[in-house]
Amino acid sequence: MSAFVDNIMTDVKNVNQAEPEFHQAVQEVVESLEPVIERHPEYKEAKILERIIEPERVIMFRVPWVDNAGVVQVNRGFRVEFNSAIGPYKGGLRFHPSVNLGILKFLGFEQIFKNSLTTLPMGGGKGGSDFDPHGKTDDEVMRFCQSFMSELFRHIGPNTDVPAGDIGVGGREIGFMFGQYKKLQNAFEGILTGKGLGWGGSLIRPEATGYGCVYFAEEMLKTQKKSFDGLRVAVSGSGNVAQYATQKVNQLGGKVITMSDSSGYIIDQNGISGERWDYIMDLKNVRRGRIQEYAEKFGCEYHKGAGVWNTKVDVALPCATQNELQIDDAKALIKNGCFCVSEGANMPTTPEAVDFFLENKTLFGPGKAANAGGVATSGLEMSQNSMRLSWTREEVDEKLHRIMREIHTAAITAADKYGSPGNYVKGANIAGFLKVANAMMDQGIV
Ligand code: NDP
Ligand code: 2IT
């Protein structure tokens, strides 16, 4: 570690103790920015890095609710409003038992650069709760969401902070939260994205993160004159991002062999497409069941626990959660001939595994760039809400596709310019940073 990175990380670790995921996210960005700070002493003087690492505001609150047995439950709610230099705070809400301040700070921090890359005017934020939606009834989820929004509503607004979904928060939860906001504020306004199509949602928003991740991979493949046609693909997770990444791979002629959930993974050499993909959609979005049922239905392999990366594939799309792809997984993938990784999830690959991929000249698309299609389409939803009109499926998909191509170009150009050709990690961090840093310079010490 250079003295520059070391100094910043010592301070970050002192001030933000017991937040390892936040340290990890900051370290990667600071390492990437070293050549930028060298060329731009004005950023150093204005303490842009020190300021960007500190959230503008953190809100933490009690979320009490009553379960179906009449028992009072208490969860913790958060919203990290990280940076508003280029637009209102924007980023998802995560409901998962692992949620804590450090996790949301890592996600909010990454969101600043991701949102900047989309070319749209959105600042960075993230929020959520340690509430676990698994095994809860719709009524319980509704009561929780109403209680959560009973505090959050006073902190958000169409020009202030616009949350959306993330792990454990999909259309159902967004609906319950929107209903409660509207009741409390007596206003029908675009304060959440990922809304239902009949009440302000955008076509393609459900598909956007998964589609975007595959569009980004497609751009990386094109640099080597390759396409998805005939490629074998491993996808982790089976939630929103994984589902639509799988659909897009199928549309482009690839074959998804694996999917997973937090209990285990399936290997289906026939490919997860057609009625098999429809089955996943019903299993995960309607019946909310376990992926093991897929293996029972279609007679394919099922393994408990992690291991989705031990399959012979050309492309890996980690679409579940942070640090799910570790050094041994990276070694197994490379050994099996994998040459392209596109991160649908946020920070799914550990730093050691990222380094291994880069050393092995793998096409590696970091989440900030590769999964930016979701929030980009949220930005398009905000525009449609402001204009009080809706674009067609084709229009939104075309805009999403263009944005993903632009992000690819921006990342590759910045990587080249700052001395790391082909390194999308550095390129995405630098390109995302510059726009925010310049806006902060223009706006003074605030
Ligand atoms: P979902 O809740 O729809 O799906 C999450 C999937 O990942 C499920 O299959 C879940 O399994 C699995 N998973 C979650 N946590 C773990 C864990 N700790 N260990 C193993 N498996 C786990 O979430 P999304 O698909 O929306 O999000 C997936 C990833 O994509 C996250 O990293 C998210 O931050 C990122 N992302 C999402 C965007 C969006 O628009 N939704 C945009 C950009 C990034 P199980 O059901 O068993 O828990
Ligand atoms: O991580 C992410 O980019 C998201 N969960 C989507 C955020 C958004 O506001 O659509």
pLDDT at 104: 99
CB 432 near ligand 2, within 6 Å: no
CATH number of the domain encompassing residue 303 = 3.40.50.720
pLDDT at 360: 98
3-22 per-position pLDDT tens digit? 999 999 999 999 999 999 99
pTM: 0.98
Ligand number nearest CA of 126 is: 2
CB 378 near ligand 1, within 6 Å: no
Element (DSSP H or E) covering residue 342:
strand 340-342
Same structural domain for residues 174 and 158?
A: yes
CA 209/CA 246 separation, integer angstroms: 11
Residue 126 falls in the annotated catalytic set: yes
- Expressed in angstroms, the distance from the first to the final Cα of the chain is 30
> Which of 125, 122, 92 is closest to 109 using CA atoms?
125
Counting Cα atoms < 13 Å in the Cβ hemisphere of 383 gives: 14
pLDDT at 437: 98
The last residue of one of the domains, among 305, 340, 368, is 368
40-55 per-position pLDDT tens digit? 999 999 999 999 999 9
Counting Cα atoms < 13 Å in the Cβ hemisphere of 201 gives: 21
Q: What is the DSSP string of 259-301?
A: EE-SSEEEE-TT-S-THHHHHHHHHHHTS---THHHHHHHT-E
> Which of 32, 48, 28, 50 is closest to 414 using CA atoms?
32
Same structural domain for residues 159 and 221?
A: no
| pLDDT at 59 > cutoff 90 | yes
The SS3 of residue 202 is coil
CB 128 near ligand 1, within 6 Å: no
Burial class (CB in 10 A: 0-12, 13-18, 19+), 388: exposed
Residue ranges making up the domain that contains 6? 1-51
Looking at the DSSP bridge assignments, the partners of residue 93 are 127
Here the tokens at position 304 are 């408990």
CA 181/CA 108 separation, integer angstroms: 22
CA 299/CA 280 separation, integer angstroms: 14
Same structural domain for residues 45 and 141?
A: no
| pLDDT at 343 > cutoff 90 | yes
Q: Which of 90, 105, 114, 126 is catalytic?
A: 126
The last residue of one of the domains, among 352, 368, 384, is 368
Q: Is residue 379 one of the residues assigned to a domain? A: no
Query: Which atom in ligand 2 lies closest to the alpha carbon of residue 346?
Result: 1
397-440 per-position pLDDT tens digit? 999 999 999 999 999 999 999 999 999 999 999 999 999 999 99
Q: Is residue 430 one of the residues assigned to a domain? A: no
Sheet holding 123-129, edge to edge: 57-66, 72-83, 123-129, 89-95, 161-164
Percent of the chain with pLDDT over 90: 100
Mutate-to-test residue for ligand 2 from 244, 375, 377, 384, highest number of ligand atoms within 8 A of CB: 375
Q: Which residue has the least CA distance to atom 30 on ligand 1?
A: 345
Q: Is residue 277 one of the residues assigned to a domain? A: yes
Q: Is residue 291 one of the residues assigned to a domain? A: yes
The number of distinct structural domains making up the chain is 3
Same structural domain for residues 166 and 237?
A: no
Same structural domain for residues 15 and 104?
A: no
- Give just the sign of the alpha carbon dihedral 296, 299, 305, 309: negative
Q: Is residue 275 one of the residues assigned to a domain? A: yes
> Which of 176, 226, 270 is closest to 363 using CA atoms?
226
Burial class (CB in 10 A: 0-12, 13-18, 19+), 27: middle
> Which of 119, 125, 27 is closest to 372 using CA atoms?
119
The last residue of one of the domains, among 349, 368, 387, is 368
CA 256/CA 316 separation, integer angstroms: 10
- Mean pLDDT for the stretch of residues 194-200: 98
Same structural domain for residues 12 and 75?
A: no
DSSP assignment letter at 212:
H
Query: Which atom in ligand 1 lies closest to the alpha carbon of residue 169?
Result: 2
Q: What is the largest CA-CA distance in the chain?
A: 62
CB 261 near ligand 1, within 6 Å: yes
303-338 per-position pLDDT tens digit? 999 999 999 999 999 999 999 999 999 999 999 999
Q: Which residue has the least CA distance to atom 18 on ligand 1?
A: 321
Give distance in angstroms: CA of 339 to centre of ligand 2. 27
pLDDT at 1: 78
86-130 per-position pLDDT tens digit? 999 999 999 999 999 999 999 999 999 999 999 999 999 999 999
Same structural domain for residues 117 and 242?
A: no
Same structural domain for residues 40 and 2?
A: yes
Same structural domain for residues 363 and 218?
A: yes
Mutate-to-test residue for ligand 1 from 321, 326, 400, highest number of ligand atoms within 8 A of CB: 321
CB 92 near ligand 2, within 6 Å: yes
Same structural domain for residues 244 and 342?
A: yes
Q: Is residue 200 one of the residues assigned to a domain? A: no
Give backbone dihedrals phi and psi of 380, rounded to 5 degrees, phi first.
Answer: -70, -35
Q: What is the mean pLDDT of the chain?
A: 98
Mutate-to-test residue for ligand 1 from 105, 192, 248, 261, highest number of ligand atoms within 8 A of CB: 261
CATH number of the domain encompassing residue 133 = 3.40.50.10860
Same structural domain for residues 245 and 148?
A: no
Query: Which atom in ligand 2 lies closest to the alpha carbon of residue 94?
Result: 5
pLDDT at 170: 98
Q: Which residue has the least CA distance to atom 10 on ligand 2?
A: 375
Q: Is residue 429 one of the residues assigned to a domain? A: no
CB 190 near ligand 2, within 6 Å: no
User: How sure is the predictor about 57, in pLDDT bands with cuts at 50, 70 and 90?
Assistant: very high
| pLDDT at 61 > cutoff 90 | yes
User: Which residue is listed with tokens 């390492």?
Assistant: 31
- Mean pLDDT for the stretch of residues 47-68: 98
| pLDDT at 23 > cutoff 90 | yes
CA 403/CA 369 separation, integer angstroms: 10
* Cβ atoms < 10 Å from Cβ of 18: 10
Same structural domain for residues 35 and 86?
A: no
| pLDDT at 145 > cutoff 90 | yes
Here the tokens at position 135 are 């095994």
CA 35/CA 38 separation, integer angstroms: 5
Q: Is residue 373 one of the residues assigned to a domain? A: no
* Cβ atoms < 10 Å from Cβ of 281: 14
